[in-house]
Amino acid sequence: MDEAADLTAAVAAVAAVRDRFFAATGEELLADLDAIERLGRMVDGLRVRAAAEVEHRSRPILGTTSLAFTHGAKDGVQLVQQVARVHHREAARRIGLGTALAHRRGLLGETLPGRLPALTDAVTAGTVGLDAARVVVETVKEVRFRADADGVTAMVESLVHAAQVADLDTVKEIAADWRLALDPDGVAPAQRQRQRSRSLKIGDTLADGTTRVSMVMLPEHLAVLREYLQSRRRSTPLVRTEPGSEQPGEPLEPEWRETPDPDTGDARSRAQQDYDTAVGGFGLAARAEAAGFGGTTTTHQVVITVTADELLRREGQGWAAGIMAGLPMPTVEQVTCDGETRLQVHGPNGEPLFLSRGHRVFSPAQKLALVVAAGGRCEYPGCRVPHPYLEAHHVEWFQRDGGRTHIDNGIMLCSYHHHLIHAPDCPVEIRRSDGDLFVVPKAWTAPPGPEHRRRQHPDIARGRIRRASAPWWSAERRPDLLRPPREPAD
């Protein structure tokens, strides 16, 4: 097989830049990284398109004239596996996604738009990656037969736009919001499916004596487990390992570990910390049960966010910080009975309950409300540091600006970004615009863009959409409103 001349030239052009990184400035390096990532997304788009075309030309109906048969392969998947030198599963994944994005063929052989032309164009242009494209395709599959065509079209446009400006986790959160908005009746069946899927499996003991255990957890139980683990991570000094370790058993990737123990020199990884915490919790629960205790003092707390309207109607879902799966209202009512789970009720526009104090330091209750409003993550754009490591920051500074210690003047930032905001030479600042907070460069003179908007809890963003004047399905809706709205109750 000979490469086309234009592809050979493209390969040579890419190879020519591989040694320039060492001499590049910081800005040049980041610009190169951004361009290379887009080039990689474009190449990924070509990979799935080529794989889908190979599959189309290897259809069993073609018999001995199929491309797979003429090259000694069983089918298109095996042929892609052999030519691309990838795993069989990866070849099948490429074909599946490529087929979903491929153009259709008419009866006369003419090329017609595919099922998702906006997504196809974005993947081809390299502005949307394959992981995000797969999220969009899978979401469309779930709702297309239970939602109207206009709603599905609006969802695809919203998700494609989100995938171009946000990270993959955010795209998944927005997709979950759209599923609920377009298919509210799917909550109960999904909950029944979750109940059937829950499991705990203890595998075979390995040669070194350890045993692999796998678990499928319900979202309400995962919320409790996450809060419990994170409550034990607080005040733990961490050090970052160097990448590219040559030691056997050490990962190549850098990771954060505890400060080495002065006696043993051992430094636990995050996974090892969580393991010790979970096993210790199991032992404590077993001893408490054996002693006949009804319970112990808890040092963690789960907060579930709901809207007042849904709470009154006992319909819809609640959301726990850091958990992308919604909790049906009956489940919310159940878990709030144990005293370790609290509800935070949002108003019709998604605003959290207002708590305020007239002193410098935010109270624990205020910090809790700010954490929930932030979705359990640092609100600096692009940062995903979880809430055990967050600090409350006065948007209007307490001393410099006379800012009040109120929730509407607070934002949750990780320690790094909190120090960055307070640094004398900080290149960015927090500005208010259109009723929200944006982190923009100090030299920025235009209105803040969607990439500057702080990270927020899904319900806050949904309220922002509901406040838009145009109908949520119309083409005139603001492009920075990424999440679907909820129709107001009659």
Side-chain half-sphere CA neighbours of 226 within 13 A: 19
Domain identity same for 150 and 227: no
Domain identity same for 174 and 224: no
* pLDDT values of the chain reduced to their tens digit, one per residue, 490 residues: 555 777 788 778 777 777 777 788 888 888 888 888 999 999 999 999 999 999 999 999 999 999 999 999 999 999 999 999 999 999 999 999 999 999 887 777 777 788 899 999 999 999 999 999 999 999 999 888 888 888 899 999 999 999 998 888 889 888 988 887 887 666 566 667 777 888 988 888 777 778 888 999 887 788 778 878 877 765 667 777 778 777 777 778 777 777 766 655 667 777 888 888 887 777 666 655 555 544 445 555 667 777 777 777 767 777 776 666 677 776 665 555 444 566 777 776 666 653 333 445 677 788 888 888 888 888 888 887 877 778 888 888 765 677 777 888 889 988 788 878 877 678 889 998 888 899 999 888 888 888 888 876 555 554 443 333 333 333 344 344 344 444 444 4
Instruction: Return the CATH number at 404.
Output: 1.10.30
Buried b (16+ CB within 10 A) or exposed e, 319-333: bbbbbebbbbbebbe
Domain identity same for 439 and 409: yes
Identify whether 423 is part of a domain.
Answer: yes
Domain identity same for 22 and 143: yes
Domain identity same for 45 and 144: yes
Identify whether 301 is part of a domain.
Answer: no
Instruction: Output the pLDDT for position 401.
Output: 74
Task: Find the Cα–Cα–Cα–Cα dihedral 404, 406, 412, 417, rounded to 10°.
Answer: 0
Domain identity same for 42 and 98: yes
| Nearest by Cα to 421 from 379, 368, 449 | 379
Domain identity same for 98 and 142: yes
Task: Give the range of the structural domain holding residue 177, as residue numbers without chain letter.
Answer: 5-186
Domain identity same for 48 and 178: yes
pTM of the model: 0.66
Domain boundary among 186, 208, 231: 186
Instruction: Output the pLDDT for position 236.
Output: 65
Domain identity same for 176 and 215: no
Identify whether 65 is part of a domain.
Answer: yes
Domain identity same for 54 and 160: yes
Instruction: Output the pLDDT for position 480.
Output: 42
- Residues constituting the chain: 490
Q: Alpha-carbon distance 344 to 341, whole Å?
A: 10
Domain identity same for 257 and 394: no
| Nearest by Cα to 419 from 456, 457, 380 | 380
Identify whether 339 is part of a domain.
Answer: no
3-class secondary structure for the chain?
CCCCHHHHHHHHHHHCCCCCHHHCCHHHHHHHHHHHHHHHHHHHHHHHHHHHHHHHHCCHHHHHHCHHHHCCCCCHHHHHHHHHCCCHHHHHHHHHHHHHHCCEECCCCCEECCCCHHHHHHHHHCCCCHHHHHHHHHHHHHHCCCCCHHHHHHHHHHHHHHHHHCCHHHHHHHHHHHHHHHCHHHHHHHHHHHHHHCEEEEEEECCCCCEEEEEECCHHHHHHHHHHHHHHHCCCCEEECCCCCCCCCCCCCCCEEECCCCCCCCCCEHHHHHHHHHHHHHHHHHHHHHCCCCCCCCCCCEEEEEEHHHHHHCCCEEEECCCCCCEEHHHHHHHHHHCCEEEEEECCCCCCCCCECCCCCCCHHHHHHHHHHCCCECCCCCCCCEHHHEEEEECCCCCCCCCCCEHHHEEEEEHHHHHHHHCCCCCEEEEEECCEEEEEECCCCCCCCHHHECCCCHHHHHHHHHCCCCCCCCCCCCCCCCCCCCCCCC
Identify whether 19 is part of a domain.
Answer: yes
398, 360 contact by CB (below 8 A) = yes
Identify whether 331 is part of a domain.
Answer: no
Domain identity same for 233 and 135: no
Task: Find the Cα–Cα–Cα–Cα dihedral 212, 215, 221, 223, rounded to 10°.
Answer: 70
Identify whether 357 is part of a domain.
Answer: no
| Nearest by Cα to 319 from 329, 192, 467 | 329
Q: Domain total for the chain?
A: 3
Identify whether 310 is part of a domain.
Answer: no
Domain boundary among 145, 163, 186: 186
